[in-house]
Amino acid sequence: MKLYWFLVAAIIPVIAALPSLIPPSSVTTGDLVEKHGYPFEEHEVQTSDGYILTMHRIPYSARVETPEPRPVAFLMHGILCSSSDWVLLGPGLGLAYLLSDAGYDVWMGNARGNTYSKRHATMIPYLPNFWNFDWHEIGMNDIPAMIDYALYETKQDQVSYIGHSQGTTTFLVLSSMNPKFKNRIRSAHLIAPVAFMDNMKSPIVKLGGPLFGNPNSWINIFGNTELMPNTRLLEQLGQQNCMDTSTYQALCSNMIFLFAGFDHDNLNTTLIPEILATTPAGASTNQIIHYAQEYVSGKFRQFDLGRGHRKPKDYPLDKIDVPIFLYYSENDYMASVVDVEKLMRKLKKKTLKRAYKVPDPNWNHLNFLWGLNIKEQVYNAVMEDIESMRYQ
C-alpha cells in the first residue's frame, strides 16, 4: 500500500513538469459540442494587458426552439481547467447544455494560460514573462473583458454568472475590487466556492502549502512558469490506462481523489479518459502559489510578494453588491464547510440569496462537474436559482 501511494505522489510532479512543447490534445470543446448537434462558435477578445482569450459559445439549443433575444449565461472554469468542463457530460447533464435547453445564450470563458488562451499581443508563452500572473489578474482583467464582449455581441445588459472553484475566486476578486461591475451581473452562482482555505483537507496542499505559501521561500523562484499544460501524451495515457477495462484505473481515480476528496460512488470512471483528454488545461505556477498563501495565511487577500514589498490587502468582500448563490458540500477537500461558512459571514446579508449544501455527504470538489448524480444533487438547484433571477 505504501508503494501504491508513493507511485501516485511520484506521478503528479511528472505530469506537472510536462512542457507545452508537447502537442496539445486532439480533443476540443468544439468537438464535444458539435458531435451532439448543438451550434458552436469561437470568439476572441484581448484584455487590457494584452492577453488574447478564446471564448466558446452555444448560441441556442439544438433541441428546443426559444425566442430571441436570449438571456446570457456566462460559465467560468476552475484552475487547470477549461470550457470543456461544462460539456463533457453531454446533453441532459452538462450545465452548458442544460442552460442552452432552458433558452439561454451560453458563453464559456477560458482564462489566460489555459489550452485556448495561450497568446498575447507582444509576449510568447515560452518565456517566463508571459506567465507573470495569478488569479487576481484573471479576476480583474480576463472576466470583465469576456463578459463585456459577450454583452456587446448579444446586445444584452446583464449575464447570469456561473463559476466553479477558481471561477468563484476570480468572481469574488472582481466584484469586491470593482463594485461598479455589478451592473453587468444579474446574479452569481458560485459552485464549490474557494476564498478562505485554511481549513481545506487536500493532502497535496497540506503537504506543499506551508512551503509554497511562504512568500520568502526559496521554492518561489520557480514562479512565472507554466503548470500542467494539456498534452497529447496525457490524452493517450488516459485512453490506454484509465479505461473501464484497465487494471490501472484505480490509480487514475485516486490521483483525482487526492485533490478533490474521496467519493467512489459518484465518480464516473467511464468519463476519466475524456477528462484527461482535456484536463489539466494549464495555468501559471503563481496561481497555485497564491492559493497556497491563502491556506497559510487564513485570509482572502492579494498576492504576497514577500520581504521588501507592501503587505497584501484583503479583498473587501463586504463591498460586493451582487445577488450571490453558493453551492457547497461536506466532502470537498478544496472548499471546506468551515471555510465556506466563513465566506458567508463576510458577505452582506442582503447579498447572499442562498447557500445550498449538497445532500450527499460524500460529494467532492470535482463531482460538481462530473458526478454521476450531478443533476439531482446540484444542477437542479443551480437552474432553479438562475431561473428565479431571470426576470429581475
> How many CB atoms sit inside 10 A of residue 101's CB?
20
Report the C-alpha gap between 70 and 156 in whole angstroms. 9
DSSP structural state of residue 256: H
Q: Which of 100, 160, 165, 284 is catalytic?
A: 165
In this structure, the strands spanning 119-120 and 51-58 are antiparallel
Is 165 known to be catalytic? yes
336 is catalytic: no
- The CA-atom distances, in angstroms, between 28 and each of 59, 109, 111 are 18, 14, 16
Count other Cβ atoms within 10 Å, centred on residue 157: 11
C-alpha to C-alpha distance for 166 and 155, rounded to whole angstroms? 28
User: Helix (H, G, I), strand (E, B), or coil: what is residue 180?
Assistant: helix
- 371 bridge partner residues: 267
Distances 239 to 229, 232, 356 between C-alpha atoms, Å: 18, 11, 36
CB atoms within 10 A of CB 115: 25
Catalytic residues: 165, 365
